[in-house]
């Protein structure tokens, strides 16, 4: 079975997809066969083949394999609202067995699976299930993307504590989200001292919205992972 990494973040819009795409590219450059999943997504758009989510499409493109969309993103909801509310609005209950089945199909023929969450670690998927419960049930190591902006220290520490209670925080990634935070380096240092898990990479702000990262950052990310998973 594939080594599976779950990518969560301190909030929505902090760079989970950005970091996950970079991670997938780094793994591919290192010769690994990679599978991807965005199990539950809201904020999807109608296309000729049904609802499609930008994160899922970006992850599929990064992994460079013709994965079945319905496996990568079994639950796609249109309104950009919390997943359990988007599901309820269309009379759907997110079923972990459906997520598991899709995961198994993808994981069967790859070495590493990169799975992106929605929002942050404790986001609800239904009245009875949080995203974190599904991840913890599998015991997957978690990568926490910290979007460097005001408030991120508290969000990062709370997330790290909660992740450690349910499964293992393999490492965290500092993302210098634009507009760049004043004192970003001091914030990274503050977290480096307080979080037990290692800092795997510090992602620079890209000039364009391209997820491409320079070779050094990719190597750093990969080496950090090798040491921790």
Residues taking part in catalysis: 38
Place of tokens 């000729």: 48
- Residue choice 16, 149, 155, 176 for contact with Mg ion (CB under 5 A): 16
Examine residue 9 and tell whether it contacts ligand ATP (CB under 6 A).
yes
Examine residue 17 and tell whether it contacts Mg ion (CB under 5 A).
yes
CA angle, residues 8, 54, 152, in degrees to nearest 5: 30
Taking alpha carbons only, the member of 125, 106, 126 closest to residue 114 is 106
Pick out residues in 75-114 that bind ligand ATP (CB under 6 A): none
Per-residue b or e along 188-218, where b marks 16 or more CB atoms closer than 10 Å to that residue's CB: beebeeebebebbbbbeeeeeeebebeeebb
CB of 113 vs ligand ATP, minimal distance in Å: 17
Q: Pairing mode, if any, of strands 75-76 and 40-41?
A: parallel
What would the x/- binding string for ligand ATP be over residues 166 to 205, using CB under 6 A? ---------xxxx------------------------x-x
- Residue choice 1, 13, 212, 214 for contact with ligand ATP (CB under 6 A): 13
CB of 177 vs Mg ion, minimal distance in Å: 13
Backbone φ and ψ for 112, nearest 5 degrees, come out as -130, 135
CB of 109 vs ligand ATP, minimal distance in Å: 25
Examine residue 73 and tell whether it contacts ligand ATP (CB under 6 A).
no
Taking alpha carbons only, the member of 12, 23, 40, 15 closest to residue 170 is 23
Q: Which residues bind Mg ion (CB under 5 A)?
A: 16-17, 55
């Amino acid at each position: 079975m594939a080594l599976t990494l779950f990518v969560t973040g301190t909030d929505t819009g902090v760079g989970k997809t950005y970091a996950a795409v970079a991670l997938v590219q780094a793994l591919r450059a290192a010769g690994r066969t990679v599978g991807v999943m965005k199990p539950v997504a809201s904020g999807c758009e109608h296309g000729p083949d049904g609802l499609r989510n930008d994160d899922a499409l970006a992850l599929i493109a990064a992994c460079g394999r013709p994965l079945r969309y319905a496996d990568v993103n079994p639950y796609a909801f249109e309104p950009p609202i919390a997943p359990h509310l988007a599901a309820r609005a269309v009379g759907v209950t997110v079923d972990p067995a459906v997520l598991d089945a899709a995961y198994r199909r993808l994981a069967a023929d790859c070495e590493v699976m990169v799975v992106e969450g929605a929002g942050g670690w404790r986001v609800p998927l239904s009245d009875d299930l949080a995203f974190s419960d599904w991840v913890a049930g599998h015991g997957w190591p978690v990568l926490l993307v910290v979007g460097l902006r005001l408030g991120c220290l508290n969000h990062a520490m709370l997330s790290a504590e909660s992740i450690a209670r349910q499964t293992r925080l393999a490492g965290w990634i500092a993302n210098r989200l634009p507009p760049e935070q004043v004192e970003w380096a001091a914030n990274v240092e503050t977290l480096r001292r307080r979080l037990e898990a290692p800092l795997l990479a510090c992602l620079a702000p890209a000039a364009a919205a391209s997820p491409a990262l320079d070779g050094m950052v990719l190597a750093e990310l990969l080496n950090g992972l090798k040491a921790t998973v």
